Amino acid sequence: MVRVLATGTFDLLHPGHILYLSEARRLGDELYVIVARESMIRHKPKPIISDEQRVEMVSALKVVDVALSGSESDIFDPIRQIRPDIIALGHDQGFDVEQLQKELHERGLDCKVVRVESSLSCSLCSSGKIIKKVLERYQKE
């Protein structure tokens, strides 16, 4: 049984998320997803949707076996519990494959890190773009 782990914010779900999660799932037999905590997101605006609601939505996706909220202090904590065989990074996720692999190894967590290269570039295949469009529409009215 190969356990795959995917991660992300998943603020406003869109087909790009489904592509990423489906590709991650294809790497093994079961898919766990760590949903980022609002308190840990510093590289972009905070999500609109609460931690709990984002987990609920990701859990309901057909390709996902288990979704859970991440740690609020150490990203390696949930990995110690989940013990994935593979960590699947998204095409634009700001983690370096080799660096993350090294940091996992230093903590005795020997799972393989791979990057899912597939990406979908439709006009609303990004939570940020959806929010921008909503703002534009309602500012006009």
Ligand X SMILES: Nc1ncnc2c1ncn2[C@@H]1O[C@H](COP(=O)(O)OP(=O)(O)OP(=O)(O)O)[C@@H](O)[C@H]1O
Ligand Y SMILES: Cc1cc2nc3c(=O)[nH]c(=O)nc-3n(C[C@H](O)[C@H](O)[C@H](O)COP(=O)(O)O)c2cc1C
Which residues would be at the binding site for ligand Y (CB under 6 A)? 7-9, 34, 36-37, 40-41, 70-71, 75, 78, 87, 89-90, 93, 95
Q: How far is the CB of 1 from ligand Y (least distance, A)?
A: 20
* Residue 19 touching ligand X (CB under 6 A): yes
DSSP string, 81-96: HH--SEEEE-TT-S--
Residue 92: how many CB atoms within 10 A of its CB? 10
* Residue 120 touching ligand X (CB under 6 A): yes
Comparing CB distances to ligand Y, the nearer of 108 and 141 is 108
* Residue 57 touching ligand X (CB under 6 A): no
Comparing CB distances to ligand X, the nearer of 84 and 90 is 90
* Residue 114 touching ligand X (CB under 6 A): no
- Residue 85 in contact with residue 28, Cβ under 8 Å? yes
- Residue 54 in contact with residue 34, Cβ under 8 Å? no
Residue 87: how many CB atoms within 10 A of its CB? 26
Q: Which of residues 59-98 bind ligand X (CB under 6 A)?
A: 90-93
Angular region, 104: left φ>0, alpha ψ -120 to 50, beta rest: alpha
105 is in an annotated binding site: no
